[in-house]
Each structure stands twice: as structure tokens, then as C-alpha cells.
Amino acid sequence: MTEPYAVPVPRGYRVGVWEVRRPLATGAFGSVYEARRTGGPGGTSGAGPCAPEAERGDGAGALPRTAALKFLPTGTGTPRQLTHLRELVEREIALHRRLRRPRLIRMYETLTVDDPGHPGLDGATVLVLEKAEGSLAALLAAAPRPAAGPVLLAQICEGLAQLHRAGWVHGDLKPANVLLMEDGSARLADFNMAAELDGTHAYSPAFSTPDYTPPELLWCEIGEHGRRTRPSADVWAFGVLAHLVLTGSLPLPGGTPGARRDAAVAYARGAEDLRLSPDLPDAWRDIVRDCLARTHADRVGTEALLRRAEAAAGSGRSPGGPWVRGLARRPRAGRARREGRPRGRRAGMVLGAAAATAAVAALGYGVSAWGDREHGSGAPSHTASRAGTHQVAAAYGASELRTDKGVPAAYRLLIVETAHDCPQPDVTPSLIAAMLKVESGFDPDLADPAHDEYGIARWTPSVLRWWMHPDGTPAESVPQPPFPPAESIPAMGRYLCWIAPRLDSGLPGDRRVLIALAYRTSYAKVNGAGGVPPKYRGYAGRVAHYLKEYTPPGRK
């Protein structure tokens, strides 16, 4: 490995009785590897560079033949990083040691690497965890509305109930943190944000995934011990998760996490109503609505939620092994996004900002997915997703935007939801995709200083200033590039939505192409030319070509 991954561990490296086989996932501070046991049935060979104070967790009896090793570099780093990381590690270990429940991912033991010859590993804490076959995030990437969704939701709710009964709050429930086992059953994972209740509250780190964070925590004060949270925060997150699993969409409107955060705040303050998807099954509509009540006090309690979820699911049985094994045989996530993966130094920013990149999440051990490089080179590629949103499918919006014509999977959600945010019928996902293709070839790093244009939508900074904010207020100052897709694409949608009604109604030709031309030049020039200005015929032809390419059969 040559890239600066969080914790690079070579194949064949030995820790205790475990031999590292292949990478599974990585994040900003930790990395997860598949490993095989090299000792006897009980795992007592003692081989490998581990400290003698290695402790057995909740794995009574023999160790499994394979496991997931989560490496956390608690022996290196700055003092501030180490303090934060050790706190997260201690939270996760404490919960694993105290809770042994069938709906929580199992920890077999913890190890400490003692290997001065490898400074990057020396002192690292290693959690030996139950190995899953996949995650809910990966399942949603393959099937945005899985048939087994209701049963999985009942099992997820059972896991929450187990945590809450024991006096813990998960604090970061989302698709990437729901693991799927070989038999198809669900387990909750990633407990480094979990917090133990002290009375009615717990104190958790001031980090969470915006789409799954209840409104009261979006503006709360952060105290000395962290952010005060309640079990009702997990109930809100479950409501968001259920809506996503059952409808393929998030319950609050907006093309970016920031826009949806603003929508959550407006809803909590009574300025907006909750508009659930019409695709939500009747049996779940009241459940989701009661989970997403405006205030924590009005949300359904966990035990009542569990009873209602099990009744709505109709069965608590596992969805079945073949279902998960079929998921495990799908191509790696990197191939699904091979044309859309952001590159270079901005990749982390782009992925962290855009919920669409969550489509590639694989295993939810608290880190992001590993995937293949472009064009199937086989070399591992790693991107740390700070947003975690790990729920968006490469097939999202397939009825409005072709999935087989090269629109990058990483931007599908952003494109489709940006179009949905505009009431103008001619501002469609295929139009936005066609324009992005013509403007930049979907290149998030485009820079054309000669024309003062940057990013995937070729924004001129002084123009972007007026379209950055969902509420229509201009930025206080001219923004400076680089402009991430999560900022550029919704701003393009807002500008197109403003342009559309300003074009004369009698202009000849495809109105969508004329809207694109007005974006490239101005609506006044298009109106003045009575259609396509001669100078822009080539641009119009390219947009028309990709509009046809990206529009599904049977749609305009």
C-alpha cells in the first residue's frame, strides 16, 4: 500500500492469533480488515505483535475462523487527536463488554499492537469484531426499496430497544451502521458515538450525520461533557431510516444535507409541515410520523415503537441467507461509481458534502467503504465520508434518469433531488445531467481561469454568489473555488428554476435546451434571438444529444 490510509496494514500481518487477509473499509481515523484465525479452536496460539494486556470481550467460547479487525491508531498522532480517539474507543469497548445482545454486532476481544518496527501500527488498539456479509447501505445501493425492508426495520428496532433497555443511546443510527449477517439478519454496529444514560440524558460527542439528527440537536449547546442527548434521538433516526428503506427517499426535502437540515429546523419550528412520501405503506405511515414528531417529548417510546414495527412487519424472522449472499456477490462499490468518483485532494470534501456518495458504503464498522479504482485496476481506493450517508443507490431515480448511459452514480441523488426541488416541469434530472456532461464532463475539479469558471457546473464565482443559498439570499461575499458538487449542482437547479419562466413562451425548439442555453449565456439573449443564438448552436446540439441519452424511454 502506498496511499496514506488511516491505518495501513499489509496482507499477512499478524496480530495475536489473527492474520490480515484483505481490506474491508477505512475512515479518517480507523481501518477495518478481514482476518483469519491462525491458532487452535480457542485462538490461543499467542502469535503476532500484540501486547500481553489483550483482553477478551463478549466472545465466550472459541473464536471464529474469520473476523473483522478494526485498527484504531491510539499509539500515534497529536495529543488532541489521541484524546478524542481514545474517548471513542473507550465508548465502543465499554458498550461491547457490557451488552451481549443478538441484534448488536459482537466483539470477541481487544488487542493492543506492540510492534516498534512498524511505528504506524505500534500502540494501535484492535477490536476483533463479528464479520458481516454487508450493510444496509450496500443493500440500498443495490435495491433502494428492498423487499425485506419491513423485517429488517423490525430487527433494527429490536436492537435499539436492547440498547435503550440497558441504558445506552446509539447516537449515530444510519444505513452504514446496520450490518447484515450471512443469514440475512440485521445487527447494529459502530458504537463509538454511543453514550450511557445518566438519568434522562446521555452525553455524546458533538458529531452526527445531519440527515439522521433530530432538530433539537442541530442547534443545541455543546457542554463540557459533550452534547446532551436522549433515546428519542435514536427514535428520530429510525423514522428517517424507515422512510428511506420503504420509499427510497429521505422524509425531508432538499438536494443536499444542508438543505434538508434547514428543512428539519423549519419543520421543528412549525413553519413547514411534514410531507411523507405517498409511497410509504399505510402500515408504516403513522409509525414514521410518530418517530418524526417535532419535539422529543411527542415521539413514540422505544418499547411501543418495537411493538408497532413488529406488527407492521408481520414477522421477525430473518430475511434469509441467499438474499444476503446474492448481495455479497454484486460488484464492488468502486465499480458502480467508476465514472463518478471524485479525485485528488478534494475527494474528502466532495464526498463529505454530498449525500450521493453514500451509495458506495460497504461495511458499517464506523468507517467508509473501500472500492476498486476506475476501470477495474484492482488497486484499493479509499475515501473517508464525513457525512456518512450511505443510503443512496446507483439506481436512484431510474424512472427519470437512465442508469446505463454514464451518469456517475456518485451524483445521481444530487441531480434527481435538485430537479425535484424545482416546480418548473422542464427542469428535469435528465436536463441537469446533460448540462453537467456538456459543461464539465462531470469533472468536479474543473478549473478554467481564463473564463473564470470552476467546478462541475462551470460556475463563475460572482454569479454563484446569488444562487448558493436555498432561501434565495446572496452570499455575503464572492465565494472562492474550488466549488464541490454538493454546492454547485443545487445552485444550478435554483438558477435554472429562475430562468425557466423568464423565457418567452413562443420560442421554437425543445424548451429544456433553451433553458440550458440561457444558463450558458442569458435568458435575454435567447429571447432576443428568438430561440437558439447562432453562436451557441454547437452547445445546443450537445445538450440535446445528452438529453436524449439520459432520458428513459417513454418520458419526454
Q: Say if CB 357 and CB 351 are below 8 A apart.
A: yes
Q: Name the strand (E) or helix (H) holding 188.
A: strand 186-188
- The pLDDT of residue 415 is above 70: yes
- The pLDDT of residue 342 is above 50: no
The residue type at 380: P
Residues in the chain: 556
Query: How far is the C-alpha of 373 from the C-alpha of 339, rounded, in Å?
Result: 10
The residue type at 9: V
Question: Look-up: residue for cell 501500527?
Answer: 121
Q: Say if CB 104 and CB 98 are below 8 A apart.
A: no
Q: Which residue from 546, 364, 350 is spatially nearest to 441, judged by alpha carbons? A: 546
pLDDT for position 387: 32
Q: What angle do CA 465, 466, 471 make, to 5 degrees?
A: 115
Mean pLDDT, the chain, whole residue set: 76
Q: What angle do CA 405, 259, 459 make, to 5 degrees?
A: 60
- The pLDDT of residue 123 is above 60: yes
Query: How far is the C-alpha of 198 from the C-alpha of 276, rounded, in Å?
Result: 34
Q: In CATH, what class is 14-131?
A: alpha beta
Query: How far is the C-alpha of 515 from the C-alpha of 527, rounded, in Å?
Result: 11
pLDDT for position 431: 97
How does residue 53 score in pLDDT terms, banded at 50, 70 and 90? Answer: very low
Which one is predicted more confidently, 524 or 209? Answer: 524
Kindly report the three-state secondary structure assignment for every residue of 311-329.
HHHCCCCCCCHHHHHHHHC
- Quick count: other Cβ atoms within 10 Å of Cβ 272? 15
Mean per-residue pLDDT for 447-460?
A: 94
Q: Say if CB 90 and CB 97 are below 8 A apart.
A: no
Domain ranges of the chain: 14-131, 135-323, 409-550
Query: How far is the C-alpha of 510 from the C-alpha of 281, rounded, in Å?
Result: 38
Architecture of domain 135-323: Orthogonal Bundle (1.10)
DSSP state of 206: S
Q: What is the pLDDT of residues 38-52, one digit of tens each?
A: 975 555 444 466 654
Q: What is the pLDDT of residues 265-292, one digit of tens each?
A: 889 889 889 999 999 999 999 999 999 9
Q: What is the pLDDT of residues 480-503, one digit of tens each?
A: 888 888 889 999 999 999 999 999
Query: How far is the C-alpha of 51 from the C-alpha of 371, rounded, in Å?
Result: 32
Query: How far is the C-alpha of 211 from the C-alpha of 263, rounded, in Å?
Result: 10
Q: In CATH, what class is 409-550?
A: mainly alpha
Query: How far is the C-alpha of 448 from the C-alpha of 158, rounded, in Å?
Result: 53
**Range among 16-30, 95-109, 200-214, 379-393 with highest mean pLDDT value:** 16-30
